Amino acid sequence: MATPAQKSIEETGGVGSLKHVAIIMDGNGRWATYHNKPRSLGHKKGAEAVREAIEGAINCGVEYLTLYAFSSENWNRPADEVSDLMALLKLYLKREIKTVHKQGVRLRIIGSRERLSPDIIKMIEKAEEKTASNDRMTLVIALSYGSRDEILSATRRIATAVGAGEMSLNEITEAVFSKALWTDSIPDPDLIIRTSGEQRLSNFLLWQAAYAEFSFPQLLWPDFTKDDFKAAVEDFLGRNRRFGARP
């Protein structure tokens, strides 16, 4: 079967319809094991690779980049690993936001804030406020995020509105439902990248990924570079998306 020829970003003159890339940053632990280092170092190196992803996305001209930083299930990891990851996120919010802001990137955090510490919530709110008017790219960080939680919370909101007589059942459309999700106003991801060789969604953007393309680069997240980002985008550009219709 013929596969479409891969096109470079230069050849296509941009990324076309590709607006939103989402990444499941997997493999920090295996990277650490492979290098005979503690898991905490794997996560630290993983946070460094976040910079590569952001630069890759800016260079390609992508409008939205979503990073899966901490899932609702990650709370079940050993307490020391959870606190390492939270400390890393705090450090990231403290140090990197300046760079991100200078690059004209707007930051948005999605997920449940219920289990986050008050100081992290404060830092998130400050970072979102500081970068709110930036328009070069939106960086969405999924933190304490679980797609099933998000769908349940949207369902409860809509059911409450129906129960209160503010909305009729017929008014519940895909657009209304999308608006009730934490990703309100963020377009669905066109491309989802998951590193480390695993090929699953792990409770990430289940509703939003309905027509996403997937890329599974065979490398561990700390080794991810902006060239890997570009390679995934160029592979995407050669694909034929039909959204269920006939070509």
Residues forming the active site: 26, 74
Q: Could you say which residues in the range 182-201 bind ligand FPP, by CB under 6 A?
A: none
Query: Is position 62 an interface residue for ligand FPP (rule: CB under 6 A)?
Result: no
Query: Is position 47 an interface residue for ligand FPP (rule: CB under 6 A)?
Result: yes
φ and ψ at residue 64, rounded to 5 degrees: -130, 135
Please state, in angstroms and rounded to a whole number, the distance separating the CA atoms of residues 208 and 218.
Answer: 24
Query: Is position 74 an interface residue for ligand FPP (rule: CB under 6 A)?
Result: yes
Query: Is position 181 an interface residue for ligand FPP (rule: CB under 6 A)?
Result: no
Please state, in angstroms and rounded to a whole number, the distance separating the CA atoms of residues 13 and 144.
Answer: 37
Name which of 26 and 190 has its Cβ closer to ligand FPP. Answer: 26
User: Stretches 2-10, 83-91, 116-124, 207-215: which one binds ligand FPP (CB under 6 A)?
Assistant: 83-91
Q: Could you say which residues in the range 211-240 bind ligand FPP, by CB under 6 A?
A: 221
For 150, the token pair is 């998000």
Q: Min. distance of Cβ 105 from ligand FPP in angstroms?
A: 13
Rg of the chain over Cα atoms, rounded to whole angstroms, equals: 19
CB-count burial class (<10 Å; 0-12, 13-18, 19+) for 203: middle
Query: Is position 25 an interface residue for ligand FPP (rule: CB under 6 A)?
Result: yes
Query: Is position 92 an interface residue for ligand FPP (rule: CB under 6 A)?
Result: yes
Please state, in angstroms and rounded to a whole number, the distance separating the CA atoms of residues 197 and 217.
Answer: 7
Question: Within 10 A of 217 (CB to CB), how many other CB atoms are there?
Answer: 18
Report how far Cα 174 is from the mean position of its chain's Cα atoms.
21
Among 22, 110, 141, 237, the residue binding ligand FPP under the rule CB under 6 A is: 141
Please state, in angstroms and rounded to a whole number, the distance separating the CA atoms of residues 89 and 93.
Answer: 6
Q: Min. distance of Cβ 93 from ligand FPP in angstroms?
A: 8
User: Stretches 19-27, 55-63, 172-180, 239-247: which one binds ligand FPP (CB under 6 A)?
Assistant: 19-27
Query: Is position 46 an interface residue for ligand FPP (rule: CB under 6 A)?
Result: yes
Query: Is position 203 an interface residue for ligand FPP (rule: CB under 6 A)?
Result: no
Among 21, 22, 54, 67, the residue binding ligand FPP under the rule CB under 6 A is: 67
Name which of 7 and 30 has its Cβ closer to ligand FPP. Answer: 30
User: How many residues in the chain?
Assistant: 247
Please state, in angstroms and rounded to a whole number, the distance separating the CA atoms of residues 2 and 136.
Answer: 37
Among 15, 69, 97, 193, the residue binding ligand FPP under the rule CB under 6 A is: 69
State how far the alpha carbon of 216 is from the alpha carbons of 16, 191, 219, in Å.
21, 11, 9
Q: Min. distance of Cβ 187 from ligand FPP in angstroms?
A: 21
Judge contact between 50 and 222, C-beta under 8 A: no
Please state, in angstroms and rounded to a whole number, the distance separating the CA atoms of residues 175 and 182.
Answer: 13
Query: Which residues contribute to the site for ligand FPP (CB under 6 A)?
Result: 25-30, 43, 46-47, 50, 67, 69, 74, 85, 88-89, 92, 141, 221
